Each structure stands twice: as structure tokens, then as C-alpha cells.
Amino acid sequence: MRQRLTVIARRFLPDLPYATPEIQSAALGSVLGALYGLPLAMAGLVWLLLVTDWAVLAAQWPLLLLLLILHGLLRYFNFSTVLEDDSVRVHGTQARMVTWSAALLLGAGALWLDVASALVDVLFRRRRPSSTPFVAHIQRWDRVRRFAVDVARETLSMLPALWLYGRLGGSIPLPALSPEAMGPALWATLLKSGLFMLVMAPMLLVFITAAQRPSFVDQLRTFYRFWLAVIIFYLLPEPFGVLAAGLYAAAGLWAYLFLFAGIYLFSFLTHRLVRVALAHQRRERELVTLETIAQIVLKQPTPELNLTELLQDHLPRLLPFVWVEARLFPAETIYRSDQPGSSPEVGATPALQPVLAEAVWQQLADSCEPYLLLRQFDDQEKRDGLLVPILHNPDHEPIGGVCALPHAHDGNVLDFLPALRSLAALIAAVQYQKGQYEMALAAQAEAYQAELYAQAYQAELYAQALAYQKMTQELVVAGKIQASFLPQSLPEVAGWQLAVTLEPARETSGDFYDIIPLRDGRIALLVADVADKGIGPALYMALSRTLIRTYADAYVREPDQVLAAVNRRILAETMNDLFVTVFYAELDPETGMMVYCNAGHNPPFLLQAQNGRAACPLTRTAIPLGIMETVEWGRSQVMMAPGDVLVMYTDGVTEAQDEEQDFFGEERLLQVVRAHMHRSADIIEDKVVSAIYEFVGDAPQFDDITLMVLLREEKL
């Protein structure tokens, strides 16, 4: 059936076979929906012209104008539900209640409210940015579809309902509220709802066919969710239109407006909640897809990893309805949304390919900005774009970029920035991994050639020296990679001071810390320590840090759930006896409330200025990560008042030993902090570190030293 529908659509869109699958689905829905809705809309408009009492509309034009304004206000705040993979979307507003109540007060002529509103929506609604002329053509078809279907479903459902209302003895305007007057109106409302569903049913079939639903279960799920949304958004509010008309007849215009003022407030709040839900749904899909790509990169051997194929397989799911190009400088394209292999047909016509000027790519290569925002960079198409650099590890120099041109989405183009940054980081990691692999091969080839020309008695000595040098270089590189994982700068939070230091005992460290910005202005603070030292614990540290960042935004205000999710992933993905102790806290800078989970870590100390500088230890609420899966994770919370200081550290601070093998200890740590609580966080951190080195003296450093100081400034 889809093939037959595609043949019909190709008569109007000849370039359809060269588009991506997502654009093909959108094109089929728009063209076939317009072809279905136009004849019905014409029939409904002719019928409406024949039954409109123009004298009534002329006499009631002030009321009609007021109803048109009210209709437009309610239509602005729509509710929306997105079905599987953004392929079927249902929008609904409470404006239909205005039309139905007006029809019961003024007659069939009130339906011109919906016609006028649909026409204004098509002509003056802000157009979404389009990535190609072909997509712009599809959008024009989609505007025709929206107008035709809106007019058809309203006229062909309301006009028969008004006819039935008259046959049942109903009168216009609707009399005051009474069972005799309300009965015919409610029966007419029931008929109106049934006819509405009848008109919408073929449209649902068109969209499901265009979306290529793979199984009957998926189709059934789509039918269920579609009709549930239609009933909630369209049909359940219909009786309130009857109530509004009766209220107008009984109590006048002010009571009528008061009812719709409440409905307007409800629509506004629901509209905001729906937009937040859609953004969360998109972000969740992005996180799942990015995690899948990361797992493939981690598990697949470097020589077998094909970055282009990996992006072709997963980017359409990560960024549907977005044209994407990923490039390595100077001019190596590793992915394009319309390149061969990413669409059903081999190749893509030039008409379907956006052109991003080489000067724009050069601007990205020369820029130090975290991203470039392209506002209507094409005078002809007026489309927006986003360009994110791919930064080389560990020197953070641009080695490429990812360009995204959304052509159908809800919200600002910057909504795609987190996904593009994560994608650029993954590409950079793959390129770095390939570079290291090629360097290793080159080093091996050089060693082999040198060994051929070396003296026999020097062969073993040379090999040992080379191995030692290589191991040392690898440790240095590993240390640089670890350092690149740490925050490059500390955030500036009004009313707060933050200082942190990490002094590794060897080239690689088992300690790590992080400061993670969260939504609503919250920040997450992390101090952790992996058991043991060396390359293995360093890799374990990198995995733990990445997983914590992955789940931090998904479980805001639930640090215990963040660490529980990380623990499950560590146990599922690793096969070793390592574990990691973690102190993870989320701070609300506005209130000073901190929610934390201490997974077997040294208890941080909260020194309270208003309580005689008493030290409150934030004790353990869970066991370390990587030990057991079936365990309860707890969390606790504290309030930081002005002047309070929170000291977070690893055991390298309190267990630092002098030449007599005495420990620095918690009491010395608290004495130094108490002595300098009235000073800045930087000074407190510097004084503690200086005290440790003074105590240790000439004794060697056996463990990593990590110290983080958080101070809430006193109000002047």
C-alpha cells in the first residue's frame, strides 16, 4: 500500500525517492493528507455558505468579533502528544469549545470562526526553518493539509450536529440551562464527536502507512495512543461548549467570559507542561542513542571501527528531522544526512543537498567559541543552523565540526546543543583512539626496523629500553587524558566560593572530581576514589565519571538514584574486582539546600559558622560502587547557611604520612579549616594543602590528594 501511495505522491514531488526515510514519511503524510482533505473542505465550505444566516452575523458582529479574539487566544496554547519516533503528532486546543458554544448561540455562521482561524494560521503562522527547497515544498503542502483537514473536520462534524439539534427541537440561541434545552444539545454534541472521529480515521491510516510501522503491535499501539489523544484533546471538552452557551443564555456575557478565562488559564498551564514533557522525551531519546554509540565504540576493536557506518546507523535516530554533516578539517566529510547509504536510493540529487559555505567551516576552525549559531545564513531559505567544533584530546584544538540544520522541531535551535556536543565528543574520542592506534603501529614498525640493524648482544637491552619508554609515554598520555576529564574551570555562582585541587601520586590517578551544571541553576559536586593505582583504575575512573555525568541530568534531586544507576552499569559492563567510593551532592545555590549520597567515601565535614564552627560529618548512606547490585541506596540533606564551609576530600588527605609513619588525620584537617573559616575558599584550600606537605616533609607521597572546599559567603 505504501508503494501505491508513494506513486501518487511522486506526481507532485518528483524528488521524493532521493529524500531520507524521515523526510519521505513527512512528505507522504503532507501530500496525501492535503489530497484527502481538500475535497471534504470544499464540500464543507459550500454547505456552510448555503446555511449561513448573514443577517444574524451582521447584527451580532461585536459578539462575533469578541468570540474570534477569544478563539485565537485559546488556539495559541495547544496541547500536543508525539507518537512513536515523531511520525504522528496530535495537536489540540480548547478553541473548539468557543466555536461550538457560538454555533448554539448564533447558528451555523459561527463556524466561520474556525475557517478564519485556520486561514490565519496558514498565512501568518511563523514558518519553521527548512534545510532545502525540497523540504520547503513539503512544508507548503503541509500547510495546505492543515487548512483542508481543519476546515473539513469542523464543518462536516458541526453542520450535521446542528441539523440534528434542530430536528430534536433545539432552538438558536440556546435557551437558559434546563434539561429540556440541554438534551438536544448534548445529543448533537455526541453526533459531532462521532463525525469528527470518522473524518480523522483516514488521516491516521495515511500517517501510519507513511511512517512504515514494522509490526501489527506497533500499529495497534499507535491507534490506541492517537485516539486517546483525540478523545482527551478534542472530544471530552465538547460538552463544556454546551455549558458555556447555556451559561451565556442564563447569566449573560460576563459569566460566559469568566468561564473561558478559567479555561484560558488551564490551557496556558497545560501548554507549558506539554512543552516540558516533549523536551524531556527528546532528551531521553538522545541520551539512550548516545549511550548506545558509546558502548559500540568501547567494545569494538579500533581497526574494525568504521565511524561513517556507525553514524549512518544511529544519527537518524539521534536527530530525526535534522540535516547533519560531520566533517574533519580540512575537507573530509565523515557523515552527511543525504550521502550515499543514508537514503533508500543510491545517491542524492543536488537539489536536496544544503550547501554550507567553506568560509563558515573555516570560521569554525579559527574560532575559540564553544559553538557557532547560524541565524538565517541563507538569504533564500531563511534557515537557522548550529555548528559545534570537534575538539582534539587533550589539547582541545578544533579538528572538525558537526553542523545541524533542523527543518521540523519544537523550540529553539539551541535545544539540539547538548546532543551535538556529546556527538562531537564521541567523534573526537574515536579519532584520538585511532590516532593512538596508528602511533602504536608506527612505533612497532620503527622498533622492528631498528632491531634488524642492531647488534645481537644489544637486542634484548634495546627492547627493554623501548618497552620502558613506551610504557612511560603511555602513562604520561594517560595522565593527560585523565586531566582533560577534569573541569577546565570552576563555575562562578553568586554568593558561593569553590576551590579544588588534585595532586596525583603517580602519572595516573585513581582520584577524580567533577562539577556538573544541572537544570534550574543547580550544580552537582563529585569527589571519588578508585581502589588501587595504575592504568586499570584510571580506565575505571574514566568509565565511572562518564556514567555519572550521563545519569546526573536524568535523576535531578535524586543523587542516590544516580549512583544506583551507575552501579548497575558498572557491574554489567566490567569484569574485575575494583570498586570506587563516591561522594555525590546536588546543591541549590538559591536556598543552600544540599542533597547528597555518600557511597562508602570519607565523610566530608560541614563546619557551621552559626554553631561555634562545629564540624558535622556527612556520613555514608551507601556502599562503594562496583561491589553489589542488590543493595539499598540512601540519601540525606543538609542546609548550608552563610559563613558555612564544606570540606570534601579523599583518603590521601587524612592518611598522608610523615617520616615516622604518623597520619595527618581528621583533627589536623579540621584545625586548619577552623583557623581560616573567615577567609576565602582558595585560601582555605591552599592552607590545608600546605599543612599536608609541611607535615609529610621528605616522606614520599603514597596516595593521591584530592581536596574540594565549598564556602557560602556571608551576607553583608
Neighbour-count burial for 513-552, b at 16+ CB within 10 Å, e otherwise: bbbbeeeeebbbbbbbbbeebeeebbbbbbbbbbbbbbbb
pLDDT of residue 84: 40
Domain contains 663: yes
Q: Range of 336's domain?
A: 300-432
pLDDT of residue 554: 86
Most confident of the ranges 21-30, 346-355, 493-502:
493-502
pLDDT at 594 over 90: yes
Write out pLDDT tens, residues 503-542: 887 767 778 899 999 988 899 999 999 877 767 777 788 8
Write out pLDDT tens, residues 206-236: 666 666 555 666 666 666 666 666 666 666 6
Contacts of 548 (CB under 8 A, 6+ apart): 514, 516, 526, 562, 563, 566, 582, 584
Most confident of the ranges 9-23, 54-68, 455-469:
54-68
pLDDT of residue 211: 61
pLDDT at 637 over 70: yes
Write out pLDDT tens, residues 404-437: 887 654 557 777 788 888 888 888 888 787 777 7
Q: Within its chain, how far is the Cα of 322 from the centroid?
A: 14
Q: For the chain, how many structural domains are there in total?
A: 3
pLDDT of residue 625: 92
Domain contains 135: yes
309 and 393 share one domain: yes
103 and 182 share one domain: yes
What is the rounded average pLDDT of the residues 668-691? 93
What H or E segment, with its residue span, contains residue 105?
helix 95-106
pLDDT of residue 475: 52
What is the rounded average pLDDT of the residues 266-276? 69
Query: Cα–Cα distance between 586 and 558 in angstroms, integer?
Result: 8
What H or E segment, with its residue span, contains residue 530?
strand 523-530
547 and 692 share one domain: yes
Among the three residues 245, 262, 285, which one is the final residue of a domain in this structure?
285
The model's confidence at residue 250, banded by pLDDT at 50, 70 and 90, is: confident
Give the number of C-alpha atoms closer than 13 A to the C-alpha of residue 716, restricted to the C-beta side. Answer: 1
**Helix, strand or coil, per DSSP, at residue 65:** helix
Write out pLDDT tens, residues 86-142: 444 556 667 777 888 888 888 888 888 888 888 887 776 655 545 466 666 777 787
pLDDT of residue 58: 86
What is the rounded average pLDDT of the residues 630-648? 92
201 and 277 share one domain: yes
Q: What are phi and psi of 130, to 5 degrees?
A: -115, 140
261 and 318 share one domain: no
pLDDT of residue 80: 52
Of 90 and 385, the one with more pLDDT: 385
pLDDT at 151 over 80: yes
266 and 410 share one domain: no
Query: Cα–Cα distance between 534 and 79 in angstroms, integer?
Result: 54
> What CATH number should be reported for the domain holding residue 631?
3.60.40.10
Using the 8-state DSSP alphabet, how is residue 622 labeled?
Answer: B
Contacts of 460 (CB under 8 A, 6+ apart): none
400 and 491 share one domain: no
pLDDT of residue 479: 56
Query: Cα–Cα distance between 325 and 335 in angstroms, integer?
Result: 5
Q: Rounded to two decimals, what is the model's pTM?
A: 0.46
pLDDT at 350 over 60: no
Domain contains 418: yes
pLDDT at 176 over 80: no
pLDDT of residue 343: 37
271 and 307 share one domain: no
> What CATH number should be reported for the domain holding residue 352?
3.30.450
Most confident of the ranges 162-171, 303-312, 527-536, 704-713:
704-713
342 and 269 share one domain: no
Kindly state the percentage of the chain with pLDDT values over 90: 20
346 and 395 share one domain: yes
- ω before 237 within 30° of 0 (cis)? no
Domain contains 387: yes
The residues facing 517 across adjacent strands are: 523
Among the three residues 285, 312, 329, which one is the final residue of a domain in this structure?
285
pLDDT of residue 411: 56
Across 266-275, 284-293, 463-472, 566-575, least confident range: 463-472
> What is the pLDDT of the chain when averaged over all its residues?
78
Domain contains 200: yes
Q: Which residue has the cell 609541611?
A: 694
Query: Cα–Cα distance between 409 and 128 in angstroms, integer?
Result: 8
pLDDT at 346 over 50: no
pLDDT at 644 over 50: yes
231 and 355 share one domain: no
Write out pLDDT tens, residues 46-94: 998 998 888 888 888 888 888 888 777 777 666 555 434 444 455 666 7
Among the three residues 432, 452, 468, which one is the final residue of a domain in this structure?
432
Q: Are strands 496-503 and 398-406 parallel, antiparallel or unpaired?
A: unpaired
Other C-beta atoms lying within 10 Å of the C-beta of residue 415: 15
69 and 160 share one domain: yes
Domain contains 439: no
pLDDT of residue 709: 96
What is the rounded average pLDDT of the residues 273-295? 74
Using only the alpha carbons of the chain, give its radius of gyration: 33
Domain contains 107: yes
Of 460 and 371, the one with more pLDDT: 371
pLDDT at 457 over 60: no
pLDDT at 338 over 80: no
pLDDT of residue 314: 78
Using the 8-state DSSP alphabet, how is residue 169 labeled?
Answer: T
pLDDT of residue 664: 93
Domain contains 373: yes
